[in-house]
Amino acid sequence: FFTKSKSTSKSITMKVALFLSLAVSAAAFSQQSRREAFAKVAAGIAFVPAAANAAAGESPRFSVFGLLGDGTSYSEGAAYGSDQSSPLYSAYSVYGEQAGSLYKPNDPAVNKRKMAVIAESKVRLGNLEAYIAKKQWFNVKDELTRYMYETRGAVRGMAQTPVQKEAAEDFFKAIEATTLNATLNKQAACSAAAADSIKKLDAFTATL
């Protein structure tokens, strides 16, 4: 009994000693880290331009949505177009609508990419029948949301005329019906909707 008690006491003593040793090391490291951090902050402050700091005797600067006050104040961060010579892309953008902007909605390269997405979407729709035959409903829904996440954007981007927009809506309804019937495990209805989605996509592509 006494041998067991002595060994237990020795084990507790060793654990306490180890804990105290780690605590002292951590405190020393923490103190050194704080010194280094404060030194770096102080060095960084030295390089801040004097113009960015408030001048002595200067009134506080503020702005109300860039309309009242000083639009360059720290509290603002944006002048909402009050400091721009041309209209902005949006109230939350610092970029204006300029003739020299890189993005152009009618850029042939952009339309080419959209058409490539539509073409690949038809390939993905062609995979559905095999999944439906095996009742792999998760694969049906994954196929309609994995790569085809881009399909709606591409179709809407290419649909410019009323006829094209109507054909696009018909296609969207067909793929939504496919997803719904896959969720409900309705094999025949899902197969019919998948086939209809291919036809509707072909009909939309024919309008381009």
Band of the pLDDT at 68, cuts 50, 70, 90? low
CA distances from 61 to 71, 72, 192 (A): 9, 9, 66
- What is the percentage of the chain residues whose pLDDT exceeds 70? 50
State yes or no: pLDDT of 36 exceeds 90.
no
For 34-42, what is the mean pLDDT?
Answer: 51
Band of the pLDDT at 128, cuts 50, 70, 90? very high
190 Cβ partners below 8 Å, 6+ apart? Answer: 132, 137, 140, 178, 181, 182
CA distances from 87 to 81, 84, 93, 94, 137 (A): 7, 7, 10, 10, 49
Q: What is the pLDDT of residues 191-202, one digit of tens each?
A: 999 999 999 999
pTM attached to this predicted model: 0.55
